[in-house]
């Protein structure tokens, strides 16, 4: 321990300095990287005249109702007569075919909810086959009714949405199922 004390005293020892006397101190230089030279922005080339390219050629689409040029086109309808080609619908919205009523919610009207109308708002997608998919509850007055609403919507069937003569997905269809209390 004494040895440590003597060592520290030697390291800290200071020569006697009288007050007011200027003491020359050693300058310590800490290595700093040289500052980066200023970057100059390259000059933009000067353009005397701006030349815009010509727009691409565009051909107006034909709106000919008979593009094949045949005048004897007929379409058979289920009634056996000839249908007018202009009456065929190429784009239609989905229409419901089967809407199953919700079941299994009888216990939900027990207690203080016995005389209250309940609502469940559901959102779903309709597949090209007319089935419902991705059924989910968006809003509900009572979560007890959510499960029966989702089960009912999964059993629904639709004529699918048709675009350009092909069945396609319809996304984000919303409907509200209303539950009336038993009398």
List CB contacts of 17: < 8 A, sequence separation 6 or more: 23
Q: Output the pLDDT for position 70.
A: 52
Per-position pLDDT tens, the chain of length 183: 777 777 676 666 555 555 666 666 666 666 666 666 666 666 665 555 555 666 666 665 555 555 555 555 444 444 444 444 444 467 889 999 999 899 988 888 877 666 788 999 999 999 999 999 999 999 999 999 999 999 999 999 999 999 988 899 999 999 999 998 887
- pLDDT 10s digits, 112-138: 666 788 999 999 999 999 999 999 999
pTM for this model (two decimals): 0.51
H/E run at residue 171? strand 170-179
Q: Output the pLDDT for position 105.
A: 86
Q: Give the domain ranges of the chain.
A: 89-179
Q: How far is CA 63 from CA 66, 67, 68, 86, 90, in A?
A: 9, 8, 12, 13, 15
Select from 22, 143, 162, 37 the least CA-distant residue to 92.
Answer: 162
Select from 92, 143, 89, 99 the least CA-distant residue to 124.
Answer: 99
Sign of CA dihedral 176, 181, 182, 183: negative
Rg (CA), the chain: 42
CATH class as words, domain 89-179:
alpha beta
What secondary structure letter does DSSP report for 108?
G
Contact 157, 97 (CB under 8 A): yes
Q: Output the pLDDT for position 116.
A: 84
Distance of alpha carbon 94 from alpha carbon 173, whole angstroms: 10
């Amino acid at each position: 321990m004494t040895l440590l004390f003597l060592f520290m005293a030697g390291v800290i020892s200071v020569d006697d300095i009288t007050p007011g006397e200027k003491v020359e101190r050693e300058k310590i230089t800490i290595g700093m990287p040289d500052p980066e030279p200023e970057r100059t922005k390259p000059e933009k080339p000067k353009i005397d005249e701006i030349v815009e390219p010509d727009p691409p050629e565009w051909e107006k689409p034909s709106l000919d109702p008979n593009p094949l040029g045949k005048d004897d086109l007929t379409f058979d309808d289920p009634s056996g007569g000839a249908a007018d080609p202009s009456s065929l619908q190429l784009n239609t919205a989905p229409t419901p075919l089967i809407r199953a009523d919700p079941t299994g919610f009888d216990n939900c009207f027990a207690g203080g909810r016995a005389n209250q109308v309940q609502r469940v708002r559901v959102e779903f997608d309709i597949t090209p086959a007319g089935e419902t998919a991705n059924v989910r509850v968006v809003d509900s007055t009572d979560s007890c009714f959510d499960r029966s609403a989702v089960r009912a919507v999964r059993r629904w069937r639709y004529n699918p949405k048709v675009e350009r003569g092909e069945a396609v997905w319809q996304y984000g269809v919303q409907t509200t199922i209303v539950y009336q209390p038993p009398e």
